[in-house]
Amino acid sequence: MHELSLCHAIAGVVKPHAAGRHVDVVRVQVGALRQVVPDSLEFCWSLVCQHLDENVVDTALELELVPAEVCCRACGQRSKIVSRWSVCCPACASGDVEVLRGNEFLVTSVRCPRA
């Protein structure tokens, strides 16, 4: 379950930004090609939060799921990829594609209440 190590990495990003303040919400972009199970990530986040410090206990994890998108070098078509197991062009079936979106794993915001 690599989601647990991903949650530790998220916590490593959040902690310095929180600067000792309580954190309400952490928003993370997760690309469809990252092979992350959203429910597992949320479960692991709750475990990690319980064992860090009081500033992240009960911190919500909001996920923005980013669909995969490619640009085909063979036909020039820009397409969203429906299957996470194939990144071939849906228009011409070429495997010569550039992945434009779908590889994201990024903490986009950390929300702390105002004092």
What is the dotted CATH code of the domain comprising 1-111?
3.30.2320.80
The token pair that represents 68 in the structure block: 């995969």
Of 30, 35, 38, the C-alpha closest to 104 is 30
* pLDDT for residue 115 is more than 60: no
More confident residue, 113 or 91: 91
Q: Pick out the residues of the known binding site.
A: 2, 72, 75, 89, 92
Binned at pLDDT 50, 70 and 90, residue 43 comes out as very high
At how many degrees (to 10) do helices 3-18 and 38-51 cross?
50
Binned at pLDDT 50, 70 and 90, residue 92 comes out as very high
Q: Pick out the residues of the known binding site for Zn(2+).
A: 72, 75, 89, 92
Q: Pick out the residues of the known binding site for Ni(2+).
A: 2
pTM value?
Answer: 0.85
Summarised one tens digit per residue, pLDDT across range 49-90 is 888 777 788 899 999 999 999 999 999 999 999 876 788 899
